[in-house]
Amino acid sequence: MSSPSSYFIHNVSLIAFYRNKPPHLTVLIDELQTYLERTSILKGKFQSYPREQVHETIIGYEGIRTK
């Protein structure tokens, strides 16, 4: 029988561009957030993250059962 610790769910992710970003990526993020904030379908519903917190998830294993 498995021990209770074998049911522990690990959350592991590989991310890139958290905090510091190349200038061209900073411009793209700003433009996209501005567009999404102003588009009529999302107006008042979209709240952007601070630029430093925006990142790229390369691999996400959130909620994957591991041993």
Domain boundaries, the chain: 4-65
Top pLDDT among 60 and 3 is at: 60
Cβ(25)–Cβ(34) below 8 Å: no
* pTM for the predicted model, two decimal places: 0.63
Top pLDDT among 66 and 15 is at: 15
For 5-55, the pLDDT digits (tens) are 555 566 778 888 888 899 999 999 999 999 888 888 888 888 888 988 888
Going by C-alpha positions, the residue among 46, 59, 60, 53 that lies closest to residue 26 is 53
